[in-house]
Structure 1
Amino acid sequence: MFRPLLIFVGLRYSQAKHKNKFVSFISMASILGIALGVTALIVGLSAMNGFEKALRDEMLAIIPHAELETVNGSFKNLDRSLTQVRQHPDVIAASPYIMLNGLLQKDDKIKALQIRAIAPESEREVTSVESYIKGGGWALLKSGQRSIILGKSVALKLALKVGDSLTLLLPQDSGPQLKSPRQINLTLVGLFAMGGQLDNSLGFMHIDDAKQILGFDSANGIAFKVADVLDAQKIARDVGYSLNDYLYIKSWITSQGYLYQDIQMVKSLMYVILLLVIAVACFNIVSTLVMAVNEKRGDIAILKTMGASKWMLRGIFIVQGAFNGLVGCLLGAVIGIYVASNLTAIVKSIETVIGHKFLSGDIYFIDFLPSSLNYEQVTVVVIAAFLMSVLSTLYPAWRASNIQPALELGFAH
């Protein structure tokens, strides 16, 4: 098969044994360094992609994308407001709610909690909380029965089990005199386990019960699901400004957006830091080629006397260095793809061996290390690493092309 001379000679130099063993060692170190950098970058980016996907699939499935809450009282015309919200082209579904802040008491145990009173029929269209409720979902909440669904961790702290009675303490408008809190008897009808802080800070009851307890005619909030979660804040503002009520406008970006921003920041830093690691590995290619040029000075002089041009000589050493870079990039890509594809299982195995979980479900919204491999990112990483390895060959190749045959072959006086 026909191959240009510079590629033929460059590949021969790449595969030839060096007289100096240290040159061989540096050459192997450069290949392994690039492979390690590429592997780390692919695995790290896959983990960040996994967290981003888990944020969307897990967390944004159980919290509303956006919310509108009245500043005072409840909505004047809830049905009309709900219709306006649902008619917005970027809104998928909407559901009314009432938010209560109080204390739950069982015997001598007390727990501060935020209770979300929901309309079961429409709530399931906005969030997927129902799938985390054991024993019947939203059907457990029936109007007029003053029932409540709590997180598993709250039930454990209050020593509650399904069917137990408990007391909800709500503050009263004190006026000139301080009044004792209102006491409302509730029945625990179900438990949920979603993971993260929500299990420890949120409870659910039927919206009709909340209306009766607070004396509201309608809901004081509307939660809705949007088509583009990353555009939730803008959509929430558009929807809120279209209504006549005086409202607080909120979205998941204001409450949980720091998680998404942290993921993006870490991903950007990872790109920069690990590309610098690859750049350091590429400097080994410079060392390898500089020593290879010194070792092949006689060969270069002979090639020059036989008519080889400067560009051919440069091409020979560019091919030699690029071959090392290509081997390192492909090796790193193969290892990186394998590790990233099996990262969750690998980390679980390590956790089993050491007996310690890296991610706690009580703190984070997931209790495993997620991974989502993006082949476009793999391609970008491999191409960037290969280009860096090619750039590192330019100086040694330029030095090789400037060798004087007369001096090397002993013809000059």
Structure 2
Amino acid sequence: MFRPLLIFIGLRYSKAKHKNKFVSFISMASILGIALGVTALIVGLSAMNGFEKALRDQMLAVIPHAELETVNGSFENLDSSLKQVRHHPGVIAASPYIMLNGLLQKDDQIKALQIRAIAPKSERDVTAVEHYIKGGGWELLKTGQRSIVLGKSVALKLAMKIGDSLTLILPQEGGQQLKSPRKIKLTLVGLFEMGGQLDNALGFMHIDDAKQILGLDSANGIAFKVADILDAQTLARDVGYSLNDYLYIKSWITSQGYLYQDIQMVKSLMYVILLLVIAVACFNIVSTLVMAVNEKRGDIAILKTMGASKWLLRGIFIVQGAFNGLVGCLLGAAIGIFIALNLTDIVKFIETVIGHKFLSGDVYFIDFLPSHLIYEQVIVVTVAAFFMSVLSTLYPAWRASKIQPALELGFAH
């Protein structure tokens, strides 16, 4: 098969054994350095993509995108307010809720918890918590039975199982007088497990039971789902200002937005830092080619006397360096793709071996290391690394074209 002369000679130089073993070592180090940098960048970006996907698909699936809470009491006309929210452009669904903060007690165990009293029929349109409930859904919460659904972590802390009774302790407002807290008996009817902070901090009960317990005529909050989650805060303000009630306006951006911003910042820093790591590895190509040029000075001189142009000589060494860069990039991409596709399982295996969990559900919104490989990013990283390796060949190639045949072959006196 026909190949241009510069590619033929360049590839032959790449595959040939060097007289100086140190040159071979530096050449191999450059390939492994580029491969390691590409692998680290692909795996790191996949992990950040995984966190972003988990935030979108898992956390934002179970917490409302936006919420409106009355400052005092409850909504004066809940049905009208719900209708107005649901018909607002950009809103997909809305559901009423009541939030209670109290203590759960089972025997001598106590756990502080936030309980969300929801309307089962409309809640499934706003959040996907129902999919994480073991052995059922919102139908487990029935009016008048004072039932509760808890996170699996809370149930383990309280040493409870489904069907057990527990006590909800709520504070009482007594003006200037101190009043003893109210105690309400509840029955555990279901457990949910999402694998993160929400398992330890949230419980659910029927909104009608909460109204009866608190003496409210209607809900004091409306949660809704939006089409564009990144526009949730702006949309929440627009919806809130359109209602007549005096409201607190909240969205996932105010409560969890820092997580999204941190992920984006880490991804940007990772691009810069690991591309610099690849750049350092590419400098090994410069060292390899400079030493290769010194080793091949006689060959270069002979090629020049046979009529080889400066551009042909430059191309030979560009091909030699680019070949090393290409091998490193493809090797790194292959290893990076394999690790990224199996990162979660690899980390779980390491956690099992060492007996330590890297991500605790008590601290983070998930308790596993996620990974989401985007092949467009793999292409960008591989092409960028290859481009940097080609750039690193320019100086040695230019230096090779400046060799004088007369001096190298001993014709000059």
TM-score, structure 1 as length reference: 0.95
State yes or no: 1:173 paired with 2:170.
Answer: no
1:58-77 matches, cutoff 5 A: 58-77=58-77
Structure 2 distance, partners of 1:2, 1:163, is 79
State yes or no: 1:102 paired with 2:83.
Answer: no
Cα deviation, 1:300-348, whole Å, max 9, x if unaligned, reads 1222222222222211111111111011111111121122122222223
Matching residue of 1:294 = 294
Identical residues among aligned pairs (%): 89
SS at match of 1:360: coil
1:205 offset after TM fit, Å?
1.2
Matching residue of 1:119 = 119
Matching residue of 1:307 = 307
Distance 1:340 1:7, change over 3 A: same
Of 86-95 and 370-379, deviating more is 86-95
Structure 1 distance, partners of 2:175, 2:362, is 40
SS at match of 1:100: strand
Question: CA contact under 8 A between 1:195 and 1:364: conserved in structure 2?
Answer: no
State yes or no: 1:351 paired with 2:344.
Answer: no
Matching residue of 1:264 = 264
State yes or no: 1:224 paired with 2:224.
Answer: yes
Matching residue of 1:43 = 43
Matching residue of 1:147 = 147
1:277-288 matches, cutoff 5 A: 277-288=277-288
Structure 2 distance, partners of 1:108, 1:332, is 56
Cα deviation, 1:153-206, whole Å, max 9, x if unaligned, reads 323333333333333222222223222223333232222222222222211111
SS at match of 1:149: strand
Distance 1:145 1:111, change over 3 A: same
1:17-96 matches, cutoff 5 A: 17-96=17-96
Of 122-131 and 342-351, deviating more is 342-351
Question: CA contact under 8 A between 2:197 and 2:366: conserved in structure 1?
Answer: no
Question: CA contact under 8 A between 2:285 and 2:321: conserved in structure 1?
Answer: yes
Matching residue of 1:364 = 364
Structure 2 distance, partners of 1:50, 1:305, is 58
State yes or no: 1:12 paired with 2:19.
Answer: no
Question: CA contact under 8 A between 1:194 and 1:365: conserved in structure 2?
Answer: no
Cα deviation, 1:347-382, whole Å, max 9, x if unaligned, reads 233333333333334443433322211110000000
Structure 1 distance, partners of 2:198, 2:336, is 35
Structure 1 distance, partners of 2:224, 2:124, is 11
Distance 1:163 1:17, change over 3 A: closer
Structure 1 distance, partners of 2:251, 2:213, is 27
Question: Letter of the aligned partner of 2:110 in structure 1?
Answer: I
**For this pair of structures, how many residues does the alignment match?**
413
Structure 2 distance, partners of 1:346, 1:264, is 24
Distance 1:203 1:387, change over 3 A: same
Question: CA contact under 8 A between 1:132 and 1:194: conserved in structure 2?
Answer: yes
Question: CA contact under 8 A between 1:140 and 1:190: conserved in structure 2?
Answer: yes
Distance 1:64 1:396, change over 3 A: same
Question: CA contact under 8 A between 2:38 and 2:278: conserved in structure 1?
Answer: yes
SS at match of 2:174: coil
Question: Letter of the aligned partner of 1:279 in structure 2?
Answer: A
Matching residue of 1:319 = 319
Distance 1:109 1:270, change over 3 A: same
Question: CA contact under 8 A between 2:66 and 2:225: conserved in structure 1?
Answer: yes
Question: CA contact under 8 A between 1:195 and 1:362: conserved in structure 2?
Answer: no
Distance 1:348 1:71, change over 3 A: same
Distance 1:62 1:85, change over 3 A: same
Distance 1:121 1:403, change over 3 A: same
Question: Letter of the aligned partner of 1:167 in structure 2?
Answer: T
Question: Letter of the aligned partner of 1:277 in structure 2?
Answer: V
Matching residue of 2:385 = 385
Cα deviation, 1:8-41, whole Å, max 9, x if unaligned, reads 2222211222111111111111111111111111
Structure 2 distance, partners of 1:75, 1:276, is 56
Question: CA contact under 8 A between 1:43 and 1:337: conserved in structure 2?
Answer: yes
SS at match of 1:76: coil
Structure 1 distance, partners of 2:328, 2:296, is 24
TM-score, structure 2 as length reference: 0.95
* CA RMSD after TM alignment: 1.8
1:291 offset after TM fit, Å?
0.4
Question: CA contact under 8 A between 1:58 and 1:365: conserved in structure 2?
Answer: no
1:235-254 matches, cutoff 5 A: 235-254=235-254
SS at match of 2:188: strand
SS at match of 1:104: strand
Q: Which runs of 5+ in 2 are unaligned?
A: none
Structure 2 distance, partners of 1:405, 1:122, is 85
Structure 2 distance, partners of 1:306, 1:105, is 93
Question: Letter of the aligned partner of 2:126 in structure 1?
Answer: V
